[in-house]
Amino acid sequence: MVIAAGRQPPPGPTRGPLAGLRVIEMVGLGPCPFAAMLLADMGAEVIRIDRLASTSATTTATYPMLGSAFDVLARSRRSLALDLKVPAGQQVLRQLLEQADVVVEGFRPGVMERLGVGPAPCLARNARLVYGRVTGWGQSGPLAQAAGHDLNYIALSGMLAAIGRADAAPPPPLNLVGDFGGGGMLLAFGVLCAVLEAKSSGHGQVVDAAMTEGSALLGAMVYGMRAFGNWRLERGANLLDGGAPFYDSYACADGKYITIAALEPQFYAELLALTGAADSAFEDQCQQWREPPHGAIGWPVMRAHFTRLFASRSRAQWCALLEGTDVCFAPVLDMDEAPLHPHNVARASFIELAGVTQPAPAPRFSRSVPAASTAPRAAGADSAAILTDWGFDAAAVADLRTAGVI
């Protein structure tokens, strides 16, 4: 795929807003590498601690892109492959943690403790260390030791039950809500909060990011609407869950889809004006649109009218008429189409590393612009260089390699 070149930083040396922050990442899956990627994207020096042995057959069968250029979550950082099953490997990690500002890990509770690098000994050796931990259920509670994945965590948060159509089971919303929004992003936020606090107190602390709590937090507004009385527990019966016909996606004549989100009356009025929808079924709802039970009475009739209307033209035709207006409109693009959309091209919203198209770092900064992203490194590709940079002498590095520790 050919896309616009990645955004160019201003002339001269650039340093992201997190330049100078030193982070140790215990390599795992999902939320932890996502959090580490966010930190690295913003200029932090993040060292990935990879397993010395190759990834297990079970893991590679499920995630075959790991360790390759397609492992986007591993971009922009170096890799140290270390045998943590032996005391010498554990000692190397302890020495690195003595110099780090942050460590992030996503193992089940107790794994790091069994390796001898749990929070207590690490904070004893480095009082300012921020110890970031992300799990599904949290570090404590009846489910803390149970296996799980994103879908399980958002099920417990109350959010999964609110997603989907009325006549079907709740669909998995990819793994965006638990792993990434409620997990990795929450971990990165928590870690940076603790780093700022440590600057004044001189003391680090443990950050316990639980995906089930993070996904519940993402639903804070919906919980408020429920308490206020204008959110029904039935799926597909509310303003933002596909219940309202003016906030939904619709099929076009060519089988492609568009989205309409004309919530406010002035935007809805523009939708009617531009599409020529003059039927009273549309206009009556414009006046009583707000929340169930009032709006819901006429929603099925209104939806039927919208369904017929949007099926009468192709997606391209609707884009030509509605895109860029105040209708609150966008086409539904797939992952091949999105990087090529003119708006995304103009903003360089996607970059290409080692032939892999991927989302660009975000958000943007006016002054402390991060350096360009780099492609993922193979496990252990930088072991000797990392140890040298972090104060290990050449003889010690050679001994570790000879002993099979790195």
pLDDT digits (tens, 9 = 90+) for 264-308: 989 999 999 999 887 766 765 544 445 544 455 678 888 999 999
Tell me which architecture the domain covering 247-251+257-331 has in CATH.
2-Layer Sandwich (3.30)
Instruction: Give the pLDDT confidence of 308-322 residue by residue, as tens digits.
Output: 999 999 999 999 999
Which member of 50, 83, 101, 179 is catalytic? 179
Scored b (16 or more CB within 10 A) or e, 158-169 reads bbbebbbeeeee
Scored b (16 or more CB within 10 A) or e, 233-253 reads eebbbbbebbbbbbbbebebe
Per-residue tokens: 171:
């669909």
User: How far is Cα 95 from Cα 388, in angstroms, rounded to an integer?
Assistant: 12
The residue written with tokens 């050449």 in the block is: 394
Q: Could you give the residue range(s) of every CATH 3.30.1540.10 domain in the chain? A: 247-251+257-331
DSSP 381-404: TTHHHHHHHTT--HHHHHHHHHTT
Instruction: Give the pLDDT confidence of 23-55 residue by residue, as tens digits.
Output: 999 999 999 999 999 999 999 999 999 988 754
- End-to-end CA separation in angstroms for the chain: 37
Instruction: Give the pLDDT confidence of 105-134 residue by residue, as tens digits.
Output: 999 999 999 999 999 999 999 999 999 999
149 is catalytic: yes
Tell me which architecture the domain covering 22-218+346-402 has in CATH.
3-Layer(aba) Sandwich (3.40)
Question: What whole-number percentage of the chain has pLDDT above 90?
Answer: 84
Check whether 152 has a pLDDT greater than 80.
yes
Residues 331-339 have a mean pLDDT of 98
Q: Would you say the pTM of this structure is higher than 0.85?
A: yes
Q: Is 249 left (phi over 0), alpha (psi -120 to 50) or beta?
A: beta
Instruction: Give the pLDDT confidence of 239-269 residue by residue, as tens digits.
Output: 999 999 999 999 999 999 999 999 998 999 9
343 is catalytic: no
Q: Could you give the residue range(s) of every CATH 3.40.50.10540 domain in the chain? A: 22-218+346-402
Length of the chain: 406
Instruction: Give the pLDDT confidence of 220-229 residue by residue, as tens digits.
Output: 999 999 999 9
